[in-house]
Structure 1
Amino acid sequence: MIFRTFAISARKHMLLALAVLLLSVANAFAARSDLTLGMVLEPPHLDPTAGAAAAIDEIVYANIFEGLTRIAPSGEVKPALAERWEISPDQKTYVFHLHRHVKFHDGAAFEADDVKFSLDRARAPDSTNAQKTLFAAIDHVDVIDPATVEVTLKYPSGDFLYNMAWGDAVIVSRASAATNREKPVGTGPFKFQNWAKGSQIVLAENPDYWGGKPALEKATFRFIPDPAAATTALLAGDVQAFPSFPAPEAVPQFQADPRFQVVIGTTEGETILAENNARPPFDNPKVRQAVAHAIDRRAVIDGAMFGLATPIGSFLPPHHPAYVDLTDERKYDPELAKKLLAEAGFPDGFRTTLKLPPPVYARRGGEIVAAQLRAVGIDAQIIPIEWAQWLDQVFKGKDYDLTIIAHTEPNDLNIFARDDYYFNYHSPAFKALIAQIEATSDAAERNELYQRAQEILSSDAPVAFLFQLPKLGIWDAKLQGLWKNYPIQANDLTAVKWTE
């Protein structure tokens, strides 16, 4: 009996140990709920309504902050905080019906008053919003009841619902608006947790989110500006995803590694050699045309992007229905560039400066562009600057001659119509076309106007158009839900999950 009892007891212990082992194995293989993403640039702050840096939206858009509408991965406008809306027959009045029982991350209730506050704040004379033109069509905003708001426009605007989906148009609370730069408070599925400056930003799941529960409980955005370090971090598993990978030369290595997915998509990022049109000699159209003809776009793409980009000749992406291929209008022709320089009074060329921010496309592309300009007599001294310096000196202060940058905002052709924009380009004809576009709802008519606007830019050459920035996404093969394309500058985590 003793031996039998001992045998039964031993068997029970073995079964219990096996159960514990199986449970441990099951837990080990359970889907993860955390994610670390790599980013090239650290944002200057986290308030999308008060800054132009794409890195802000890449963290907060659809994660922390939400607007009345949102941009889906397909580029379509979808409902967000507004569950539905009605548009008047004259297309000047929009009545938005808001989701009920929505709360901000600090517990405050979201209501129509917050919509009125946000839109009035964004379009106010003292607004610091980087995209105030998004709100230019608004005449007034009225609260009907806590769940209904009416927006009346000065004129019909075919882009209004799309404009309300930008990061610059997210809805903020009056109570926390002033502190959103460092401690963002929104209505989204993730809450701001902490920011280790120079290193990373951490978001945590919002347990009180009004919409669907995200699969992720924690998301960390790590800042890795160096391409080699980005490659190493992915290979080592220190980051599991790099939605906008900065090392195109390493793409074949990841394509051959079954541990990773390589997803090459499109962006709204028109990459340009910007010129200060108010500073001599770039105030002379012939000089700007000479610069455009001095650049071999294909050589820049091959050298800086390892061939993974599309040449452009205007400021619309090639996938836009109104895009016109004007690359031959300013094709590579160094002899023509020299001729134009001579006609402009610079037969021996001139000296200038080229300020380059940290992104690889700018630093590598800048070296190639500088060599091409030097071949026609333009000696461009390269000045590498950090991202905060670029925003302060170039974008805000307009203290530059030349710079290379990708503008990643969607439908942003109208920046060339802004009097205070850093290009310092002023064209009454172009501005008039943009005004017509904004007041036109018919798609075919809008596209025709867009085409005419592109032709004006090609002729005036306020900047030299280089290429459309691709989206080089690389992430763990077990990860799903990250966007293939960038219809808007965002790393939307709402549908991201791990598979077993």
Structure 2
Amino acid sequence: MKTRFSTLALAAALPLTMMAAAPALSDDLRIGLSSEPSSMDPHFHNLGPNNALRQHIFQSLTYSDENMQIRPSLATAWEATTDTTWEFTLRDDVSFSNGDAFSAEDVIYSICRVPMVEGSPSSFTSFVRDIVGVEVDGSTITFTTDGPSPLLPTNMSSVAILNASVYGGEGVEFSADGCANMGDLPASTDFSSPETAIGTGPYTLENFVPGDRIELTRNADYWDGTPSWDNVTLRPIANPGARVAALLAGDVDVIETPPIQDFDTIREAGFQIDQGLSNRVIYLHMDSGEEVPPGVSGTDGVNPFADVRVREAISKAINRDAIVERVMGGVAVPAGELLPYPLFGTREDAEPDVYDPERSAELLEEAGFGDGFEITLSSPNDRYINAERVAQAVAQFLSRIGIRTGVDAMTASTFFSSRNNQEFGMWLAGWGAASGEMANSLTALVATRDPDTGMGSTNRQRYSNPAIDALVMEARRTVDDDAREEILQRASIMAMEDYATVPLHFEVTPWAFAEGLELTPRVDQYTIAMMVRPAE
């Protein structure tokens, strides 16, 4: 199996030889999704399936392309005019799908609404939190931030722009303490109606049947050319086998994440597969607090994970190449840090830890655990590619050095709830950096947990290193890109040397699709109609 990379070395693709005629294509596109979006409201839930869906209907000032590079969208340019001000130039001659002209008022309304969404399970507020002032001068909108905010252009790619007049938001006035003239705020459920889901994107909502399908229609007034498809149908098909069956039967034209073991069947039936290296790292976390965590025994009341030598021993005991080859079927890349090169803040020379079980045994002896101990490794079994099998492989490697390891695999909903309640001592999970830069991964997985600042939001392992925290905070205040990248590289080196997190591999995301189509893989793993087009 051979992987080809784009000029950024990220959008890998693998066309598979076609053996039979695939179904004829029309001007409509049908996509089988592995997960259904939880809402049509683009401000409700910061979740991958939702973020992918909203790009069809709603746009932002900037957008993240297939390689997670920030590009112009409703803004044509942006510039940091001081350490605490950003100036964006808005695009002219853009209309919403109902014919209303796009303006700065819509931007202000959208930024104001984000923190006002009720019941959000994962809010977008962090993307607009820094903004404390807004000024408009013609087609220029200037944001004043509470301190340096180098990621504001990146953050803006996650904030969907709504049509203020649809919701009675004409004359909206921004205030960091609460905006005025917001009209009657729409409920998130209102966006299931085509009359409410009004954006500037390439498609409009035609019909939403929860649990069955989302139907989209080409936006005839789209400002950026003509979309490839007249109609797009998104069908949630959670079961991997059922997704493959739907593709083979011609019920859908594209499916996401086909099982690796079905690649040959898909190829022999006349379909294609493209795959792209993703920003999602599969990693191990270990509760390194003072007390012995759940699932750990045989340590005489000492938490072994609090000792960096034990964390290093665990990392060196794992043969990442073997996992990639034998468990992942080559559809993964061994990881040496939390993001793949060349995403922002990564290093080309960041090599995965070398498999060295003899050194692992020595490290355990040095740490006082020469006789080993027992642990339970927890993992979701329905969230990441072959996660349960990866966990089983890790358990075998650890058992060979005397860390007798059992695996407890469970559904993702149970896993994340239990993890957040500190019910695990060691667990396997995945993280995809939404911003495409190292600050996101370090902030979420490594930084000391502080709900008030958002630091350590996914650091449930009680790891804390003030020196890394200081570098991450410095990077978040540094507007100059070159300086910020150098700071993040130093922080990443420090985190890897301290085994703050043990990265295993980066997922390579596959899509399967019918003959006559071309597909551009996305690093963020989103499945959107705009990445699919008729073959030339």
Residue 88 of structure 1 deviates from its aligned partner by 2.2
| Number of the residue aligned with 2:340 | 317
C-alpha deviation, 1:431, in angstroms? 1.9
Q: Which amino acid aligns with 1:298?
A: D
User: Take 1:130 and 1:461, find their aligned partners in 2: how far apart are those partners?
Assistant: 30
Moved more, 111-120 or 191-200: 191-200
1:160 aligns with 2:174: no
For structure 1, which segment, 267-276 or 376-385, has the greater mean C-alpha deviation from structure 2 after superposition? 376-385
Deviation at 1:317, TM superposition (A): 0.8
Q: What is the deviation of 1:83?
A: 3.9
Question: Aligned partners of 1:86, 1:449: CA distance in 2, in Å?
Answer: 21
CA contact (8 A) 2:379 2:429 kept: no
CA distance 1:462–1:76, change in 2 (3 Å): closer
470, 482, 485: which one pairs with 2:522? 485
> For structure 1, which segment, 310-319 or 404-413, has the greater mean C-alpha deviation from structure 2 after superposition?
404-413
Q: 2:86 aligns with which of 93, 105, 126?
A: 93
Which of 315, 322, 328 matches 1:305? 328
Unaligned runs of 5+ in 2: 1-22, 168-184, 294-302, 452-456
The reply to whether residue 64 of structure 1 matches residue 101 of structure 2 is no
1:4 matched residue in structure 2: none
Q: Distance in 1 between the 2:473 and 2:244 partners? A: 45
**2:377 equivalent to 1:349:** no
Q: Would the alpha carbon gap of residues 125 and 221 (structure 1) be closer, same or farther in structure 2, given more than 3 Å must change? A: closer
Please give the per-residue CA displacement for 1:463-495, whole angstroms capped at 9, x wherever unaligned: 220111113232122123x32332x34333246
Partners of 1:48 and 1:304 in 2: CA distance: 36
Match of 1:7 in 2: none
Q: Identify the residue that residue 315 of structure 2 maps to in structure 1.
A: 292
CA deviations 1:288-326 (Å, max 9, x no partner) are 333322322112212331012211121121333632544
Aligned partner (choices 411, 414, 419) of residue 450 of structure 2: 419
Structure 1 pair 289–262 and aligned structure 2 pair: CA distance change class (3 A): same
1:400 paired to 2:424: yes
Shift of 1:125: 12
Partner letter of residue 459 of structure 2?
F
Cα deviation per residue 1:350-392 (whole Å; 9 max; x = unaligned)? 2324131403331221222222233334444433333433454
**Alignment-derived partner of residue 237 in structure 1:** 250
Alignment-mate amino acid for residue 68 of structure 1: L
- Deviations along 1:48-87, one digit per CA (max 9) or x if unpaired, are 5443432222332x21221111122354322222244454
Q: 1:442 Cα deviation (Å)?
A: 3.8
SS at match of 1:171: coil
Q: What secondary structure does 2:497 align onto?
A: helix
- The CA distance in 2 between the partners of 1:48 and 1:456, in whole Å, is 37
1:214/1:496 contact within 8 Å kept: no
CA shift digits 1:148-168 (9 cap, x unpaired):
532123445443322322x3x
Higher helix share: 1
Indicate how the Cα distance of structure 1 residues 388 and 191 shifts in structure 2: closer, same or farther if over 3 A, else same.
farther
Partner-residue secondary structure (3-state), 2:526: coil
| Candidates 499, 508, 511, aligned match of 1:461 | 499
For residues 440-479 of structure 1, what are the structure 2 equivalents within 5 Å? 440-479=478-517
Question: 3-state DSSP class of the match of 1:370?
Answer: helix
One-letter amino acid matched to 1:465: P
Is the contact made by 2:377 and 2:391 (CA closer than 8 Å) also made in structure 1? Answer: no
* Secondary structure of the structure 2 residue equivalent to 1:360: coil
Contact 2:379 / 2:387 at 8 angstroms: preserved in 1?
no
Contact 1:267 1:471 in 2 (8 A): yes
- Counterpart residue number, 2:399: 374
Question: Hey, what's the Cα distance between the residues in 1 that align with 2:150 and 2:93?
Answer: 28
**Judging changes above 3 Å, is the alpha-carbon distance between structure 1 residues 445 and 84 closer, same or farther for their aligned structure 2 residues?**
closer
TM-score where L is the length of structure 2 = 0.74
Alignment CA distance shift 1:274-1:246 (3 Å): farther
- 2:317 and 2:356 in contact (8 A); partners too: yes
Q: Distance in 2 between matches of 1:356 and 1:253?
A: 26
2:390 aligns to what SS in structure 1? helix
Contact 1:70 1:79 (8 Å CA) reproduced: yes
Q: 1:31 to 1:200 in 2, by over 3 A?
A: closer
Q: Does the 8 Å CA contact 1:201/1:220 hold for their aligned counterparts?
A: yes
Tell me the equivalent position of 2:160. 170
Instruction: Please say if residues 193 and 203 of structure 1, whose CA atoms lie closer than 8 Å, have aligned partners that are also in contact.
Output: yes
User: Is 1:82–2:113 an aligned residue pair?
Assistant: no
Q: Determine what percentage of the aligned residue pairs are the same residue.
A: 27
State the 1:203 CA deviation: 2.9
Q: Secondary structure at the match of 1:88?
A: strand
Q: Tell me how far apart the structure 2 counterparts of residues 123 and 429 of structure 1 sit (CA, whole Å).
A: 32
| Aligned pairs for 1:117-266 within 5 A | 117-122=109-114, 129-130=122-123, 132-135=125-128, 137-144=130-137, 148-165=140-157, 167=158, 169-172=159-162, 175=167, 178-179=187-188, 183=192, 185-187=197-199, 188-242=201-255, 244-255=256-267, 259-266=270-277
> Distance between the aligned counterparts of 1:155 and 1:432, measured in 2?
16
Cα distance change of structure 1 residues 122 and 317 upon mapping to structure 2, 3 Å threshold: farther
- What secondary structure sits across from 2:192 in the alignment? coil
Q: Distance in 2 between matches of 1:372 and 1:197?
A: 43
The residue number in structure 2 matching 1:41 is 35
Distance between the aligned counterparts of 1:253 and 1:352, measured in 2? 36
Deviations 1:21-54 (A, max 9, x none): xxxxxxxx99612222223233444445443432
Moved over 6 A (4+): 123-128
Query: Do structure 1's residue 498 and structure 2's residue 534 form an aligned pair?
Result: yes
Normalised by the length of structure 1, the TM-score is: 0.79
Q: 1:49 to 1:302 in 2, by over 3 A?
A: farther
Which residue of structure 2 aligns with residue 270 of structure 1?
Answer: 281
> What's the offset of the Cα at 1:182?
6.6
SS at match of 1:290: helix
Deviation at 1:440?
3.0
- The size of the alignment, in residue pairs, is 461
Task: Return the alpha-carbon distance in structure 2 between the equivalents of residues 372 and 30 of structure 1.
Answer: 48
Cα displacement (A) at 1:136: 5.2
Distance 1:180 1:317, change over 3 A: farther
- 1:32 corresponds in structure 2 to 26
Instruction: Indicate the residue corresponding to 2:388 in structure 1.
Output: 363
Describe the shift of the 1:74–1:462 C-alpha distance in structure 2 as closer, same or farther (beyond 3 A).
Answer: closer
